[in-house]
């Protein structure tokens, strides 16, 4: 749309939650080398193209960005110190980029990584942090507002929960107030058992960064649409 302030300028509007947040942030440079190499001119210097907010990205640059942002290997870079293991690329996109970035499996994996990192792989309602021998956390990334109800794959619509608590949360047996007080449904058949496993404070643990707390609008949606008081 035309920029209402500056003539001959335009704004690109992105619907909140419609974009994919990568598992890992992709920097402009890694070990001094550009990730998006298409911004270089013929002399190998950064061209004015790099200053453009919207610019075309080549397939090679796109694939490189995807490999860094959505790695198959737990290590971002190989231990040898090489810039990028090109031969281990998990994705090669030459046609439909939208298909990859809108894939439910890819979005779920990226969402899980972000949410579990935000809560240090610890269930917000029980405090449990179980890691198996392979280094995988028992905690799961739960959507506060369900995906089926247009809940976005962003940290503020997520919370780390153990499997049983996640099951209860999705079925409206547990919910949260805006200040993260834990609400228990009268429909729970073993209320004393549930009280034994949730945090003694009766409140959910906040994520490491306060800005990543579940947003009140999503918590309100869960209480109004899922919670069985």
pLDDT tens, residue by residue, 97-117: 666 676 777 788 889 999 999
Residues in the chain: 229
**For residue 75, is pLDDT > 50?**
no
Encode pLDDT of 159-189 as tens digits: 999 999 999 999 999 999 999 999 999 999 9
Report the DSSP beta bridge partners of residue 181: 203
Residue 86 pLDDT greater than 50, yes or no = no
CB atoms < 10 A from the CB of 185, how many? Answer: 17
Q: Could you tell me if 160 and 121 are in contact, meaning their C-beta atoms sit under 8 angstroms apart?
A: yes
Least confident range from 90-94, 147-151, 216-220: namely 90-94
pLDDT average, residue stretch 140-167: 94
Which helix or strand (DSSP H or E) is residue 161 part of? Answer: strand 158-161
Tokens representing 135 are 């280094």
Q: Determine how many CB atoms are found less than 10 A away from the CB of residue 24.
A: 14
Provide the whole-model pTM: 0.70
Whole-angstrom Cα distance, residue 62 to residue 118?
Answer: 27
Taking the C-alpha atoms of residue 100 and residue 106, their distance in angstroms, rounded to an integer, is 7
Tokens coding 81: 């110190």
Q: How far apart are CA 198 and CA 214, in angstroms?
A: 18
Least confidently predicted of 133-142, 147-156, 191-200? 133-142
Residue 7 confidence (pLDDT): 92
**Contact present, 222 and 145 (Cβ < 8 Å):** yes
Mean pLDDT on 143-169: 94
Total Cβ atoms within 10 A of residue 151: 17
Write down the mean pLDDT value for the chain. Answer: 84
pLDDT of residue 14: 79
Could you give the 3-state DSSP secondary structure of residue 33?
A: strand
Alpha carbon of residue 36 to chain centroid: 22
Q: Please give the residue that has the higher pLDDT: either 61 or 78.
A: 61
Token duo for residue 141: 């990334």
Nearest Cα to 161, choosing from 178, 176, 149, 179? 176
> How far is the C-alpha of 99 from the C-alpha of 92, rounded, in Å?
12
Q: Where are the domains of the chain?
A: 29-101, 105-225
Terminal Cα distance for the chain, rounded: 45
- pLDDT tens per residue across span 4-30: 999 988 888 877 667 777 878 899 899
- Over residues 130-149, mean pLDDT: 89
44 CB contacts (<8 Å, ≥6 apart)? none
The predicted structure's pLDDT at residue 79: 32
């Amino acid at each position: 749309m035309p920029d209402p302030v500056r003539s001959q300028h335009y704004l690109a509007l992105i619907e909140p939650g419609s974009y994919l947040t990568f598992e890992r942030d992709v920097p402009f440079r890694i070990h001094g080398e550009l990730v998006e190499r298409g911004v270089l001119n013929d002399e190998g210097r950064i061209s004015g193209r790099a200053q453009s907010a919207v610019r075309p990205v080549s397939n090679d640059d796109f694939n490189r960005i995807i490999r860094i942002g959505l790695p198959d290997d737990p290590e971002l870079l190989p231990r040898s110190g090489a810039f990028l293991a090109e031969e281990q690329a998990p994705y090669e996109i030459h046609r439909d980029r939208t298909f990859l970035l809108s894939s439910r499996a890819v979005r779920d994996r990226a969402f899980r990584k972000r949410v579990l990192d935000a809560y240090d792989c610890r269930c917000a309602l029980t405090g449990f942090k179980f890691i198996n021998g392979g280094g995988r956390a028992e905690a799961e990334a739960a959507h506060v507002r369900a995906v089926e109800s247009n809940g976005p794959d962003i940290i503020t619509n997520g919370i780390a929960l153990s499997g049983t608590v996640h099951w209860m949360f999705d079925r409206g047996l547990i919910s949260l107030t805006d200040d993260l007080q834990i609400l228990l449904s009268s429909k729970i058949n073993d209320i004393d058992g549930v009280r034994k496993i949730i945090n003694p404070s009766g409140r959910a643990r906040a994520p490491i960064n306060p800005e990543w707390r579940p947003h009140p609008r999503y918590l309100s949606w869960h209480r109004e649409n899922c919670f069985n008081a």
